[in-house]
Structure 1
Amino acid sequence: MSKKVLMAFVVAFSSLLLSSCGGQANANKENKDKDKDKEKIVINVETTETMLGDAIATFKSTAVLEADRQATVTTKSSGIILEIKVEEGDLVKEGDVMMVLESDTQQLSLNSAKANYDKSLNNLKRAELMLKKGLTNTEQVDNLRFETKSLKASYDQAAMNLSFTQVKAPFDGMVAKRHVKIGNLIQNATAVFDVVDFDSLQAKISVPEHHWLLMKKGLPVSFDFDAVQNMKIDGHVERIAPTIDSSSGTFQVTVAVDNKDHILRPGLFAKAEIIYDQRKDVVVVDKDAIIREDDMAFVYELDGEDGVKRTTVTLGYEMLDTVELTAGILASQTVVTTGKNNLTPDSTVKVINYN
């Protein structure tokens, strides 16, 4: 074999070998890129935006409604019931006659007392005229004057006893219960009606002592009743007990309830929220965006189109669905809500928000 042929053979073999190595390197690079793509996991997430809103601080508790003005009406006289003028559920005004007792004896006593008083009064007037003419003395006139006053008191007492045969409403309200029937013979101080003023409904709430300085008269209160669906009832703090119960570590707050439509009734169970502070135009976010670890809280902010970054935030007041952020993030930032627990700072995400 000549030298030229040998050289040509060596050159061809080298070219083939280099070509084979280059192809293998390219293949290895493609495989690595494919493996890298396989390791890159995309996590579907939902997001929301931080925004400016109102932060409200509330104390939540439960209470049972009661009427501030609720009375059991009793009789001040004995006798047979002749007439019942109201029934359960009727509205009454202060002074309305609710029931009438027999009054013959009281009427006779009044007539007798009036006759005695009128007679003494006439005698006093004649004696005063005679005194001016010098026909009687001052002592006799004074005696008649004292006698007339005594008989006037007896007359007033008889008139009062007669009025007691009519049982009257003590205040504006509704008849909640009737205890007696027509024809019953009742004695003095017998319970005959229960009357409730539904405009005076209130709730007494026991508040822990560490809220002592937060409670103020006039604070707004919101009520939620199971018996009254989809309706918020308003109220306000009417008064605060001046002392703390040492056995329970609580103090009592009395809340007046708005019941002008007479929808509510004493005995209803309520969930109450006393609003003791409000802050406007602060950064708030959906509670679902918050991740808590021990005493720390953070959110995942959207970073670019498919990246996220973990941001530590400081929490303020917590509302029903949102929470105030006092530091760490501004308004109008996109944060992850659903899928946040699967994220790390180097995660790749795809935003899918469902209506």
Structure 2
Amino acid sequence: MYNLKIFLQPLALLSLLVLTSCGSNNKETSEQSSQVNESPIVKIAQVSSRPVAQIHEYTGTIEPEIKNNIAPQSPIRIDKIYVEVGDQVRKGQKLVQMDAANLKQLELQLENQKTEFNRIDELYKVGGVSKSEWDAAKTTLDVSQTSFSNLLENTSLVSPINGVVSARNYDNGDLYNGSTPVLVVEQINPVKLFINVSESFYSKVEKGASVDIKLDVYPDELFKGTISLVYPTIDPITRTFIVEVKLNNANQKVRPGMFARAILNYGTKDHVVVPDLAIVKQSGSGDRYVFVYKDGKVSYNKVELGRRMGDEYELLSGVENNSQVVIAGQSRIFNGVEVQLAQE
């Protein structure tokens, strides 16, 4: 009897260990199954369509209204330059005096021809010369007068516009070689810029329309411009057309070469607007997506973004009006998965 008791005790202990182990395994299996079956938790937001201003931004470079290269027609030595870069000049103001030796010689020839023509003219009046001789003398005088006037313009160089000297390429005594102008004068009131606009907006761009202009050099200021010219043709390669915008610049604060952003407003359109938290960027591409929640599941919708407005995005396509979109928990979900909604 004693020996049987000794034999049964280890057997009972072994049975207890087996039962304990099985219970533990069943509990772990149950917990794992619960974790597998548990749906991801997401937070959603109701979105809707509303009027959105169709504002588009275009970049360009400020250019002068007029740019004149001041130079003679042929190589000649420069006698004196009267202005420096940055000087304001008036229309008709003398800027450069070229060497006048040829001009003086031509002036003497012109005076002699005037005297000769006057003599022939008096003879013609009394029948001393023929009409053909009078015509020949008159033609010679006219040609000399034209040559003198042309040389005078190319010896004494004046500004054709009111503007500012933006470049000086020679010094007094240099020989003008014809490769670059002696001076460059630019009219900078007004100034202008050219932008390339998509052909889809061709019917919406009108001459005289107001344009907001931002300059990086003046980040806190907004300038006002006006559409002054709409080019009549579309570039077949870029599918854009050129628009010229003029900007009043009475204080000459805006200068040619500045980087500018022109903002055109094409009215409003009703588009769905979503929180920026809803936008998901597709890895490895520039595509954007939004998870849309419906009937306990989410769908992965590719969207086309419009304007960013603070912490919201305008959607041009991809999400229907009055949809519910996921704004938190996107990293744990995929297309078609069942989800749970986070408790507020």
Whether these two folds match at TM > 0.5 is yes
Residue 198 of structure 1, aligned match among 178, 184, 188:
188
Gaps of 5+ in 2: 1-50, 280-288, 293-305, 315-320, 322-326, 330-340
* 1:114 maps onto 2:104 in alignment: no
Change (3 A) 1:187 1:64: closer
- Aligned ranges for residues 24-63 of structure 1 at < 5 Å? 56-63=53-60
Residue 220 (1) aligns with residue 210 (2): yes
Which residue of 2 is the match for residue 209 of structure 1? 199
Q: Match for 2:160: what amino acid?
A: P
1:260 corresponds in structure 2 to 250
Match status 1:92 vs 2:82: no
- The structure that has the greater radius of gyration is 1
Which of residues 53, 61, 64 in structure 1 aligns to 2:61? 64
C-alpha offsets along residues 54-89 of structure 1, whole Å, 9 cap, x if unaligned?
974322122221224123222224332221111100
Whole-angstrom CA distance in 2 between matches of 1:113 and 1:190: 31
1:291–1:258 Cα change, 3 Å: farther
Residue 226 (structure 2) pairs with residue 236 (structure 1)? yes
Change (3 A) 1:63 1:163: closer
* Residue identity opposite 1:57 in structure 2: Q
- What TM-score, normalized by structure 1, do the two folds share? 0.60
When residues 63 and 249 of structure 1 are mapped into structure 2, their CA distance, relative to the original with a 3 A threshold, is same
Residues 117, 155 of structure 1: 8 Å contact kept: no
SS of residue paired to 2:255? coil
Q: Which whole-Å deviations, capped at 9, do the CAs of 1:127-161 have from their partners, x for residues lacking one?
A: 30x23xxxx4xx62442243123223213312431
- Quote the Cα distance in structure 1 between the aligned partners of 2:249 and 2:291: 43
Task: State the distance in 2 between where 1:215 and 1:63 align.
Answer: 17
Judged with a 3 Å threshold, the aligned counterparts in structure 2 of structure 1 residues 182 and 172 are, in CA distance, closer, same or farther, namely same
> Residue 162 of structure 1: which of 134, 144, 152 is its match?
152
Give the fraction of aligned pairs with identical amino acids, expressed as a percent: 20
* 8 Å Cα contact 2:278/2:291 also seen in 1: no
In the TM superposition, what whole-angstrom CA distance separates every residue of 1:146-188 from its partner, at most 9, and x where no partner exists?
3123223213312431331112223221110100001112245
Distance 2:291 2:139 in 1: 83
Match of 2:169 among 176, 179, 185: 179
Residues 175-210 of structure 1: per-residue CA shift (max 9 Å, x gap): 101000011122457521122111242221122222
**How far did 1:230 drift?**
1.5
Aligned length: 256
* Root-mean-square deviation (Å): 3.9
Equivalent in the alignment of 1:103: 100
Note closer, same or farther for the CA distance 1:287–1:67 as it changes in structure 2 (3 Å cut): farther
Match of 1:123 in 2: 120
What letter is aligned with 1:215? V
SS of residue in 2 equivalent to 1:264: coil
Q: Secondary structure at the match of 1:89?
A: coil
TM superposition outliers: structure 1 runs of 4+ over 6 Å: 286-293
